[in-house]
């Protein structure tokens, strides 16, 4: 039986998406101060991941899918966009593969609906039913999830609303109320979150930025940030307790998609005397940056990073306080690095 979430209180907005830019990165040890006027040694030899096998229609897709909107959504004619049913019927007629059809439904919702930042910040939510969201093209997470479920019903795909808590990077590690979806495809349940794939919110307005990170996400990856009220929607056996959920380090899906393994620390928040040390396995030999910022915003600097297939991050925290340590990754040593995870460090006297 489908669940409906109509009045979320409180609500988890989409994740912020910080990016770091580097002109160059030296190795084996680097910090942002190395990027200007430094003699740069030869880059680490890249180790490209093996290409996925050619997919047969109906097979479970390899996660994550490329961040490209489904062609049926990109080319959707205006005449087919008059109602939820008309959109769903058009997509079903264009895509017979059930996995790709659910992806198209997800892509439509993520692409067409803007996150209602004003309602989220005011904690005053307009109706979040599917029809209202389809008409206004604005909602908070409940509206995204309700529209996904309604479109699945119209296309003949089983999609339900899941409610619970979610925790995002740079915010309270205990999380707050959120809604997402589960879909049964070919007899298997899978997870998706069109809200978090629609874009992001920093301090300003909603920024539209399509993603596929939270589409068919492995349960152990989605379970780092999403904790459903009904434990069956963890899709894990045995399910995590709330305490186990909160004790997990908060890494982004891209951390796992890029092959990283966190060796230490094994908690999202650690207490240190002066220095936080982070150890990663990095079989794809990606470049890593790290920085820290005190929670009150008064101190920010870069951490030292030793590059390689094992990465060692060393953050010397200058004085007592609570610090947010952020990890960034890029395949090349030049250009924009995107966030892949964070650790909170508490330095004592």
The reply to whether 157 and 224 lie within a common domain is yes
Q: What is the pLDDT of residues 151-167, one digit of tens each?
A: 999 999 999 999 999 99
Q: Which domain holds residue 280?
A: 254-347
For 203-215, write each residue's pLDDT tens digit: 789 999 999 999 9
Is there a single domain that holds both residue 240 and residue 298?
no
180, 226 in Cβ contact below 8 A?
Answer: yes
Statement to judge: residues 130 and 223 lie in one domain: yes
pLDDT at 140: 96
pLDDT beyond 70 at 11: no
| 8-18 per-residue burial string, b: 16 or more CB within 10 A, e: under 16 | beebbbbbebb
pLDDT at 101: 98
Check whether 71 has a pLDDT greater than 80.
yes
**Number of domains within the chain:** 2
Residues 222, 197: one domain?
yes
- Asked if residue 64 is part of any domain, the answer here is no
Same domain? For 266 and 140 the reply is no
For 329-343, how does the pLDDT look when each residue is reduced to its tens digit (9 = 90+)? 999 998 999 999 999
Among the residue ranges 38-52, 105-119, 171-185, the one predicted with the least confidence is: 38-52
Among 233, 248, 263, the domain boundary falls at 248
Which residue intervals of the chain are DSSP H helices?
71-74, 84-94, 98-112, 117-122, 130-136, 141-155, 219-222, 242-246, 253-257
Judgement on whether residues 178 and 204 belong to the same structural domain of the protein: yes
Q: Mean per-residue pLDDT for 293-314?
A: 94
Residue at a domain's end among 207, 232, 248? 248
Q: Residue 348 has what pLDDT?
A: 83
Between CA 152 and CA 64, with CA 10 as vertex, the angle to 5 degrees is 45
Statement to judge: residues 240 and 274 lie in one domain: no
Mark whether 164 and 299 lie in a shared domain: no
Last residue of one domain, picked from the residues 216, 233, 248: 248
In a domain, 181, yes or no: yes
Whether the CB-CB separation of 195 and 168 falls below 8 Å is answered with: no
Is the entire prediction scored with pTM above 0.85?
no
Confirm whether 5 is domain-assigned: no
Q: State the DSSP string of 92-142.
A: HHH--SHHHHHHHHHHHHHHHPEE-HHHHHHT-----SHHHHHHH-EE-HH
Q: What is the pLDDT of residues 266-279, one digit of tens each?
A: 999 999 999 999 99
Q: Return the higher-pLDDT residue of 15 and 154.
A: 154
Q: Which CATH number characterizes residue 146's domain?
A: 3.10.620
Residue 31 counted as domain residue: no
């Amino acid at each position: 039986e489908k669940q409906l979430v109509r009045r979320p209180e409180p609500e988890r907005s989409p994740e912020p998406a910080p990016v770091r830019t580097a002109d160059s990165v030296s190795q084996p040890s680097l910090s942002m101060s190395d990027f200007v006027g430094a003699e740069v040694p030869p880059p680490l030899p890249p180790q490209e991941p093996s290409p996925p096998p050619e997919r047969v229609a109906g097979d479970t897709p390899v996660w994550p899918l490329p961040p490209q909107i489904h062609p049926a959504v990109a080319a959707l004619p205006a005449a087919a966009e008059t109602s939820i049913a008309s959109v769903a019927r058009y997509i079903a007629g264009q895509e017979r593969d059930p996995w790709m059809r659910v992806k198209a439904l997800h892509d439509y919702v993520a692409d067409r609906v803007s996150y209602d930042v004003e309602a989220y910040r005011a904690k005053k939510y307009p109706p979040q039913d599917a029809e209202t969201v389809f008409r206004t093209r604005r909602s908070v997470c409940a509206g995204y999830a309700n529209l996904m479920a309604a479109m699945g019903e119209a296309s003949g795909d089983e999609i339900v609303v899941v409610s619970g808590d979610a925790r995002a990077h740079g915010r309270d590690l205990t999380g707050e109320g959120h809604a997402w979806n589960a879909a049964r495809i070919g007899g298997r349940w899978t997870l998706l979150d069109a809200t978090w794939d629609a874009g992001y919110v920093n301090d300003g307005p909603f920024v539209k930025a399509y993603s596929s990170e939270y589409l068919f996400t492995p349960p152990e990856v989605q379970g780092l940030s999403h904790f459903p009220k009904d434990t069956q929607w963890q899709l894990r056996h045995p399910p995590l307790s709330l305490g186990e959920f909160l004790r997990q380090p908060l890494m982004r899906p891209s951390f796992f998609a890029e092959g990283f393994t966190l060796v230490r620390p094994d908690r999202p928040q650690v207490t240190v005397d002066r220095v936080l040390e982070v150890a990663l396995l990095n079989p794809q030999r990606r470049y890593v940056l790290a920085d820290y910022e005190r929670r009150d915003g008064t101190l920010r600097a870069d951490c030292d990073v030793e590059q390689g297939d094992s990465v060692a991050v060393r953050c010397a925290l200058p004085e007592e306080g609570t610090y947010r340590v952020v990890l960034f990754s890029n395949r090349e040593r030049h250009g924009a690095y995107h966030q892949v995870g964070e650790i909170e460090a508490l330095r004592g006297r």
